[in-house]
Amino acid sequence: MRALTPGIAPSRLEESAYRAVFADAHPPMSPHEALVAADRCYFCHDAPCVAACPTAIDIPLFIRQIQAGLPEAAAKTIFDQNIFGGMCARVCPTETLCEGACVREAAEGAPVQIGLLQRYATDALMDRGTHPYRRAPDTGKRVAVVGAGPAGLACAHRLAVKGHAVTVYDARPKPGGLNEYGIAAYKTPEDFAAREVAWILGVGGVEIVAERRLGRDMTLDELRQDHDAVFLGVGLQGVNALGAKGEVLPGVRDAVDFIAELRQADDLAGLPIGRRIVVIGGGMTAIDVATQTRLLGAEDVTIVYRRGRERMGASRHEQEQAAAKGVRFKHNARPIRVVGDGAAHGVEFEYVEETADGLKGLGETFLLEADQVFKAIGQCFEPGPAPSLRLNLGKIAVDAEGRTSIPGVWAGGDCAAGGEDLTVTAVAQGRDAAESIHKTLMEA
Amino acid sequence: MADLRTDFVGITSPNPFWLASAPPTDKAYNVVRAFKAGWGGVVWKTLGLDPHCVNVNGPRYGVVYGADRRVLGLNNIELITDRPLDVNLREIKQVKRDWPDRAMVVSLMVPCDEESWRTILPLVEETGADGIELNFGCPHGMSERGMGSAVGQVPEYIEMVTRWCKQHSRMPVIVKLTPNITDIRYPARAAKAGGADAVSLINTVTSITSVNLDTFSPEPSIDGKGTHGGYCGPAVKPIALNMVAQIARDPETAGLPISGIGGVTTWRDAAEFIALGAGTVQVCTAAMTYGFRVVQEMTAGLSLWMDEQGHPDLAAIRGRAVPNVTDWQRLNLNYVTKARIDQDLCIKCGRCYAACEDTSHQAINMSPDRVFEVIDAECVACNLCVDVCPVENCITMERLPAGAVDPRTGLTVSDEHADWTTHPNNPSRCAAE
């Protein structure tokens, strides 16, 4: 049986099973389902769901537009605030954002299905294949955007709408950032990330320059000289170190790299997967790598997190989804060393408890067998490319409009301080920086 | 067990739920299914003189939906029976013979001349039917030919035809009234003057349910054209209740038996009609939407409610609400209430605030943390907040006790009755006694 192949091996599933593995996590609503779901919205005054949305989409209005039979109009309401409304409908942790704030969640534990309704609306408009925004007349201003992730492209799109000429540089071969390289495959099937980027670029006026890395292929000063403004949406390139012995043994790798490889794999069967897997971390990345390796045929997948369940960065919903797929959780344990002889065979953990002075080892240890170990303990901003930027808690310091310490340079997304590291937050920051850039350029 | 048996102008049935004259009662097949399901009686779909009517060969019904395609209102352009008279008469006779305990009333519509009525009445009487219902109500199609609501809109015609029917038949005569008039009391009085044993109401309301925005045709659309139909279903119940009440409390028609029709969907609707004086209720849209089995909810629900309330039979509830229907001018102006919001039940949707702030009296305060509280000094007790609140009993109207000061008016609440008839602002007030 393929699943029992020891070590890290490709083709753990039957060939025919791969297609179904990464089918849509939450299939789209049918028109009737959408009408019924939309009808549950109370059209609240000063609605809590809007306040809970980092991009402040007018949710009651767009749901009312679905009710009234015009999902395309609903989509326009969404895109006015969030041009990545399609992706956010798929990946937002709605249970902690809009749906968590829905009064029907408070009333009956069953919120209006805002995420799925947003997907229904945005799909309806995007499936038309046309772009809903028309560019303003050319302003003659040129803006450089570094990083073609959600922050950078949200910024670029808004700037393009305003009539500016935008060049987006990205280190990777494809635009999209974490939407393309990071988010779990089952959340964005059928190449949605790439299709969405192509649709966003349909506004015109945005040039994508691939495989150009800031600090390697160009400097911030060069960009400033050649453009009227610069937006940095470079994300987080650094990966936190485990600090455990044996970390360099074969079989141990960064979860983000693996997910990127998975997302770009043409043939999932060719992707080597361990039989027994340990994932170290407690965030969305840990959940994503654990769930996906389990779906790809790993026999045992265990997420080990050093603190309690309530402290995990991954939402409760995400945890439950992973558990439903057979992922096991262990809490309050930290890795001491990766055990192995030429390759990882297991990880030794020590139980810890959280005290006022931080985590305290309890002396009791246990060993989890593992031929594949993923580190998902967070990423960090690497200031290398732009050493002169002022930082705040290790990320680029920005003001409320996204301005950095360097005149003419804005930043947003995961690389900027403030806000959660979510797609929707990145979109909001990119969009708001674009408004600030526009205001600044037009005043000049 | 509450006794649901009904004696309506001498027509008995095991319960007050009759199927109204409409498509569900057009044939023996349907009516037998209805009786098997438990319906107390039927009013057979309207018969006319041969040559029989024809119907359109396209859609006959239009609809107004609520959430989840729930049928709130149904409109139809179907005419009276499109089957030969003798076929209907034969089936009526057979069904009545097979189901002697069920009410069998036959709806009739023939031209407004005495000879036509004199022709059809003995034919119906021969079937053994319990009574006839004169269809003076249908507002579509037949009215263009001087029948249906064209008769019901002219009290003199109602009286004349009713009199013919009483003269030429021994059967009880129920006159079915159209709501498409300005004052329902006039046709009801005319029916009584003509000797009617009872009235039934309402027939359907003249209506266009929707317009197709692709073709710009009214719906239902027949080859790109539409015509007004008759509207019925839950949407028309309030209109029907009011008209039933008007007849029940009119001194000239008080006591005239009424068969209540209009949007009866559950036992509760039926109980409301009966409380306003109806002796039986007639149902159509609920059956057409859900099938005949809905009667089982209606009989069980009515029976259970009556048992719980200690009402032994229908006579115990019939007309009980009639004395409480009054004129605006008789409403007690010293009945002062204020909205009260139960903070434990409030889910903070803010609909009460939006409604009051935008469209009423700015009498609800919204705090930054979404606590909604009534400002008594502004609250006129209009009830809009209660009506739009999605949580039942979260907002209620509470009466200020006598002796309390209404912060809005600064006046002390009195426990005396005071109404418009004696109000100082009323130019034609009566002197206080």
pLDDT at B166: 98
pLDDT 10s digits, B158-180: 999 999 999 999 999 999 999 99
**pLDDT beyond 80 at A246:** yes
In this complex, which of A36, A45, A106 lies closest to B68 when CB atoms are compared? A36
pLDDT at B155: 97
User: Which residue of chain A is at minimal alpha-carbon distance from B391?
Assistant: A107
Q: How far is CA B69 from CA A67, A112, A270, B64, in A?
A: 12, 18, 49, 9
HEC readout, chain B: CCECCEEECCEEECCCEEECCCHHHCCHHHHHHHHHHCCCEEEEEEECCCCCCCCCCCCCEEEEECHHHCEEEEEECCCCCCCCHHHHHHHHHHHHHHCCCCEEEEEECCCCCHHHHHHHHHHHHCCCCCEEEEECCCCCCHHHHCCCHHHHCCHHHHHHHHHHHHHHCCCCEEEECCCCCCCCHHHHHHHHHCCCCEEEECCCEEECCEEECCCCEEECCECCECCCEEEECHHHHHHHHHHHHHHHHCCCCCCCCEEEECCCCCHHHHHHHHHCCEEEEEECHHHHHHCCCHHHHHHHHHHHHHHHHCCCEHHHCCCCCHHHCCCHHHCCCCCCEEEEECCCCCCCCCHHHHHHHHHCCCCEEECCCCCEEECCCCCCCCCHHHHHCCCCCCEEEEECCCCCECCCCCCECCCCCCCHHHCCCCCCCCCCC
pLDDT at A353: 94
Rg from Cα positions in chain A = 22
User: Which residue of chain B is at minimal alpha-carbon distance from A47?
Assistant: B349
Any CB–CB contact under 8 A between A109 and chain B? no
Confidence of residue A384 (pLDDT cuts 50, 70, 90): confident
Contact B349 A42 (CB under 8 A): yes
pLDDT at A241: 84
Give the C-alpha separation, A442 to A436, whole Å. Answer: 10
Chain B interface with A: residues with Cβ < 8 Å:
67-69, 347-351, 353-354, 366, 370, 390-391
Contact A45 B68 (CB under 8 A): no
Residues of chain B with pLDDT under 50: none
Contact B67 A48 (CB under 8 A): no
How far apart are the CA of B265 and the nearest CA of chain A, in angstroms? 22
- The residue that leads in pLDDT, A242 or B125, is B125
pLDDT 10s digits, A288-339: 999 999 999 999 999 999 999 999 999 888 999 999 999 999 999 999 999 9
Chain B residues in contact with A68 by the CB 8 A cut-off are: none
pLDDT at A266: 87
pLDDT at A1: 64
Secondary structure letter of residue A357 according to DSSP: T
Residue of B68, B210, B342, B347 to mutate, interface with A, max A Cβ within 10 Å: B347
pLDDT at B25: 98
Q: How many CB pairs under 8 A join A and B?
A: 36
Chain A residues in contact with B350 by the CB 8 A cut-off are: 44-47
Percent of chain A topping pLDDT 70: 100
Chain B residues in contact with A106 by the CB 8 A cut-off are: 347-348
Chain A residues in contact with B68 by the CB 8 A cut-off are: 35-36, 39
B284 is catalytic: no
Q: Tell me the one-letter amino acid at B32.
A: V
**pLDDT beyond 80 at A3:** no
Any CB–CB contact under 8 A between A70 and chain B? no
pLDDT 10s digits, A106-137: 999 999 999 999 999 999 999 998 999 999 99
Contact A45 B353 (CB under 8 A): yes
How far apart are the CA of A64 and the nearest CA of chain B, in angstroms? 13
Has this prediction a pTM greater than 0.90? yes
pLDDT at A444: 76
User: Which residue of chain A is at minimal alpha-carbon distance from B66?
Assistant: A39
Chain B residues in contact with A30 by the CB 8 A cut-off are: none
Contact B347 A107 (CB under 8 A): yes
How far apart are the CA of B68 and the nearest CA of chain A, in angstroms? 5
Which token pair is B220?
């239902």
Any CB–CB contact under 8 A between A112 and chain B? no
How far apart are the CA of A106 and the nearest CA of chain B, in angstroms? 6
Confidence of residue A24 (pLDDT cuts 50, 70, 90): confident
Write down the mean pLDDT value for chain A: 94
Any CB–CB contact under 8 A between A30 and chain B? no
With residue A14 as reference, give the H or E element that holds it: none
How far apart are the CA of A69 and the nearest CA of chain B, in angstroms? 12
